[in-house]
Structure 1
Amino acid sequence: MINSLQDTVTLNNGVKMPGFGLGVYKVEDGEVATEAVKAALNYGYRSIDTASFYENETGVGEGIRQSGIPREEIFVTSKVWNDEQGYDNTLKAFESSLKKLGLDYLDLYLIHWPVSGKFKDTWRAMEKLYEDGKVKSIGVSNFHVQHLESLLADCDVRPAINQVEHHPHLTQPELKSFCEDRSIQLEAWSPLKRGGLLDEPTIVEIAEKYNKSAAQVILRWDIQTNVITIPKSVKEHRIIENANIFDFSLTEEDIERISGLNINDRSGGNPDSFDV
């Protein structure tokens, strides 16, 4: 478990990744993205998660540069989108993301969704990027157990990360256990269920006990259950508030109550039925 904003989790290839970061899904490109990234980095965040699909890599890269934080201190993630998959297309998509970000390398590159019939060829391209030193770690996003089993049967490099929708209404315990048994780190996108959990009575009650917000309790639950989390915000005060979770600890009973809220309810697509 991490104990500060800049603490890291060691991935299965030895790379150290911050256990808490900023997500920028649906953040407008340009000044909005730049200012959000800059605010996060200036406060002490060291992990930024974007994707080609988000169409804000240019603004994210500008925020990184304007922050003045040395590049080697920042962990940058991007992802290859569904219509960019396949071996050759993935290599091109990576170079495009790198150019938009204005970076020489990525710290983590993910397959955004398990596109049937393509994700294995996509993974071969990811392995080449990794072997060539253009990315420090590679992983997947939105992969169910069956997708991981299929990939692990053929891959040379095991995924370091599986980034999935994960929050108290969608805990995915079987997937989490599968990943833990194979040293694949689980990472949560939409950890607050796009705001849909902030009025959940159990979470509100626990938050009142610690004089914290519902969001802080959920994010604390993430890190105490060893899940990397990347809440999104464009407001500086919220970016700061989200990260102010290292001065209290949830009890085992709190964690069990929060985990017990699982109803397998998604705010995003299901990897088994999403449209490519």
Structure 2
Amino acid sequence: MAKLDLKVPDLTLPDGNKIPFIGYGLGTAWYKADPNSPKDQATIDATETAIKVGYRHLDGAEVYNTEEEQGIAIKQSKIPREELYITTVCLYSTAQIWQSLPPLISQRSVLTIKQKVITHIDDIPAAIDRSLKKLGLDYVDLYLIHAPFFAKGDNKLLQQRWAQMEDVLASGKAKSIGVSNFLKPHLDAILETAKVRPSINQIEFHPYLQHGDLLAYHKNKDIRVSAYGPLTPLTKAKGGPVDAVVEKLAKKYAVNPGEILLRWAIDQNVLPITTSSKEQRLSDMLRVFTFKLTPKEIEDITTEGNKKHHRAFWNHIFDANDQS
């Protein structure tokens, strides 16, 4: 297959560091329930394929038990470390994460979770050391807190954990620090005492979960946004109001519908995290940098998306109709 001759553009973070504007995710699609299970060659192969095709931003997390596979793929790729952008995420509770995963994964992992609940949020400096050892790296480019729900509304606890993230930053073990799944009250809490603002907040974001004015809030606070689950309307909520407009635009731009959804995020300055094991599909998704949607097309998708609500993750935390 032909490799696209393009360079993925960067998004500049508030701290001045640059992050590639699309990430290859090693999340739920590659999840291993047992951290002691053998290395998953399929995960290694898919990650190597993503690097070969042109992805330089690899987005993983401790909870998915794929950091070792990610590290092996990085080493075997022979790409210089400084040309790769590596993200990982601090695990705070396997029980909470388990409940947020899709039903199929949840069923597969239920016995493991019942046997042992693991939390690393109490000692973030130790957690980053474990992750770096698994990855085989001296530092990550971006380190995130997986979610704020461990604090159960305790703002001081959120502030304490963010202070630990700042210690990780100061140590040089992460070039940038941020959060994931944080909403306005959680961000307000840590910003009250933060010496360093979060560089990015990674959230579930797609036309069926637009979070009201959350994007505007991030812009006001100078925090960037990345999106996991950006293809949810096609993968988990097919048959909704955005289908027609997305199909129409896919024909116009001669791309796949998924690329329209990725571009919809990018055109709103939101960095999408996506995945696939198929080389052609991975290459196709990079076509998002060969076109732009018009403001009217972005608005059309937004308007149609707001006619339906679908949250694919963290449904045990939020009420069914909660769109925050």
TM-score by length of 1: 0.92
- Mapped to 2, the partners of 1:189 and 1:78 lie a distance apart of 14
SS in 1 for 2:19: strand
Task: Provide the aligned C-alpha RMSD in A.
Answer: 1.9
Relative distance call for 1:179 and 1:25 in structure 2 (3 A) is same
- Mapped to 1, the partners of 2:168 and 2:278 lie a distance apart of 34
C-alpha contact 1:161 1:184 (8 A) present in aligned 2: yes
Cα deviation 1:33-77 (Å, max 9, x = unaligned): 211111111111110000001110000111111111100110000
Q: 2:289 aligns with which of 235, 246, 249?
A: 246
Aligned pairs (5 A) from 1:16-35:
16-26=18-28, 27=30, 29-35=39-45
SS in 2 for 1:153: helix
**1:192 aligned onto 2:231:** yes
- Post-superposition shift, 1:173? 3.8
- Mapped to 1, the partners of 2:13 and 2:180 lie a distance apart of 15
Q: Which amino acid aligns with 2:134?
A: K
**1:268 aligned onto 2:308:** no
Q: Which amino acid aligns with 1:56?
A: T
- Mapped to 1, the partners of 2:78 and 2:86 lie a distance apart of 15
**1:177 aligned onto 2:203:** no
SS in 2 for 1:62: helix
Aligned pairs (5 A) from 1:120-269:
120-193=159-232, 195-196=235-236, 200-260=243-303, 261-262=305-306, 263-269=308-314
- Mapped to 2, the partners of 1:45 and 1:174 lie a distance apart of 30
- Post-superposition shift, 1:154? 1.4
C-alpha contact 2:92 2:121 (8 A) present in aligned 1: no
- Post-superposition shift, 1:271? 8.9
Q: Which residue of 2 aligns with 1:119?
A: 158
Q: Percent identity?
A: 36
- Post-superposition shift, 1:5? 4.5
- Mapped to 1, the partners of 2:276 and 2:214 lie a distance apart of 27
Q: Which residue of 2 aligns with 1:66?
A: 76
Q: Which amino acid aligns with 1:73?
A: E
Gaps of 5+ in 1: none
- Which shifted more, 196-205 or 154-163? 196-205
Gaps of 5+ in 2: 1-5, 32-38, 94-118, 320-324
Q: Which amino acid aligns with 2:12?
A: T
C-alpha contact 1:192 1:198 (8 A) present in aligned 2: no
- Which shifted more, 126-135 or 29-38? 29-38
- Mapped to 1, the partners of 2:158 and 2:88 lie a distance apart of 16
- Post-superposition shift, 1:209? 2.0
- Post-superposition shift, 1:86? 4.1
Q: Which amino acid aligns with 2:219?
A: E
- Post-superposition shift, 1:198? 5.8
Cα deviation 1:85-116 (Å, max 9, x = unaligned): 445x2111111111111111000000001021
- Which shifted more, 15-24 or 4-13? 4-13
C-alpha contact 2:144 2:179 (8 A) present in aligned 1: yes
Aligned pairs (5 A) from 1:25-64:
25-26=27-28, 27=30, 29-64=39-74
Q: Which residue of 1 aligns with 2:98?
A: none
TM-score by length of 2: 0.79
- Mapped to 1, the partners of 2:160 and 2:124 lie a distance apart of 9
Q: Which residue of 2 aligns with 1:6?
A: 8
- Mapped to 2, the partners of 1:271 and 1:159 lie a distance apart of 26
- Mapped to 1, the partners of 2:253 and 2:237 lie a distance apart of 17
C-alpha contact 1:57 1:97 (8 A) present in aligned 2: yes
Structure 1 stretches of 4+ moved >6 Å: none
